[in-house]
Amino acid sequence: MHTPPLAIHRTPLVAVYGTLKRGLRNHHWLEGADFVGADILTSATLYDLGPYPAAKPQASKGIEVEVFEVSARLLAGLDRLEDYRVRTPKHGDFERVIRATAFGPAWLYLYNHDVAGCPVIRQGGWRPR
């Protein structure tokens, strides 16, 4: 009798760059998530929208992110917070895409709207005002 190999389920990783980071106002959305570590991503550029930043898929000198291991329930909550629409990702405020991190592939929320006129952050991190 052949026993199929067990599927290894990996809890998703999420890379956050704004108000979800530790010590900031929306970090409570990650309650129960495991902090994996900090990293620098060169595959995205941040824009300061005032109350929060927005990432766009543009090369940068390196933006600061924090990587967390999350459950499916936490990821669904983040999707609601970021107005990510699974069936129509381009119609919400953010689209969720995979980006390489030092800890493995992680979800990153990219902003769907225009950022013309917003201050750009091509290196470092966003800081609340």
In a domain, 129, yes or no: no
Task: For residue 126, give the nearest of 67, 9, 31, 47 by alpha carbon.
Answer: 47
**4: in domain:** no
Local structure of residue 8 (DSSP, 8 states): P
28-50: per-residue pLDDT in tens?
999 999 999 999 999 999 999 99
- 69 carries an active-site annotation: no
- List the catalytic residue out of 31, 64, 82, 95: 82
| CATH number for position 58 | 3.10.490.10
Count of domains for the chain: 1
The tally of CA atoms less than 13 A away on the side-chain side of residue 62 is 5
Mean pLDDT of 119-126: 96
The pTM (predicted TM-score) of the whole model is 0.89
At residue 86 the predicted structure's pLDDT band, cuts being 50, 70 and 90, is confident
Report residue 93 as tokens: 């405020």
